[in-house]
Amino acid sequence: MTPDSKNILLVVGAATPPGRLSRAIDDAERVLAAMQGITVDVVNLALTPVELCDGRADADYSPATRQVLQRVERADGIIFASPVYRASFTGVLKNLLDLIPIASLRGKSVGIVAMGGSDHHYLAVDGHLRLILAWFGAVVAPTSVYLTSRDFTDGAPSARAIDEITDLAASVVALTQRLPATPLGPATLAERAWS
């Protein structure tokens, strides 16, 4: 990695084996990998489970869990992807967010990809995840990607879905490249509570 290069982490927050959402994130990975100065890392929580957040010190979690947290910390930008589950994002993604130190997301550019069964749930993941990302002080792309089964043929994303994922990836990269080295604004309320 060169000093100017940026590392973008893609997090697939599904508990089940890779399916359509993972295929969509594979396309995001390809788009990002083709960009000059961008390295890409992918954490799929179905393939790389993290331990249950139970309040113990970070050092007391398994090496696999600590490695995922280090990958989040090292990332310059992140795209979180989740299926809609019970009118929100998945428990495995919430568990990861519960484990992430506040400083690991503060001032970091973030994008959101959600997938639901119908258009009726298009803000379920977006709305809930944005609130939590605001708590961290992350800089979230203004729009997100929402996919349904109509966006796939034989498990592969449609051209429209790929275009939207490409636009989101480009937005996260653009934000990452333009954000200052120090976080914007005052410390988050969450940080003040812990200091």
Residue range 92-145, pLDDT digits in tens: 999 999 999 999 999 999 999 999 988 888 888 889 999 999 999 999 999 999
What interhelical angle do 20-33 and 159-178 show, nearest 10? 50
Question: What domain count does the chain have?
Answer: 1
Q: Residue 81: which domain range?
A: 6-194
At 13-45, the pLDDT tens digits run 999 988 999 999 999 999 999 999 999 999 999
Question: Does any domain span residue 111?
Answer: yes
Question: Does any domain span residue 1?
Answer: no
Which pLDDT band holds residue 169 (cuts at 50, 70, 90)? very high
What's the rounded Cα separation, in Å, for the pair 178 and 49?
32
Tokens coding 177: 């490249």
Question: Does any domain span residue 123?
Answer: yes
What CATH number is attached to the domain comprising 28? 3.40.50.360
What's the rounded Cα separation, in Å, for the pair 72 and 15?
18
Res 137: pLDDT: 93
Q: Which of 74, 77, 69, 75 is nearest to 50 (CA)?
A: 69
Q: How much is the pTM?
A: 0.93
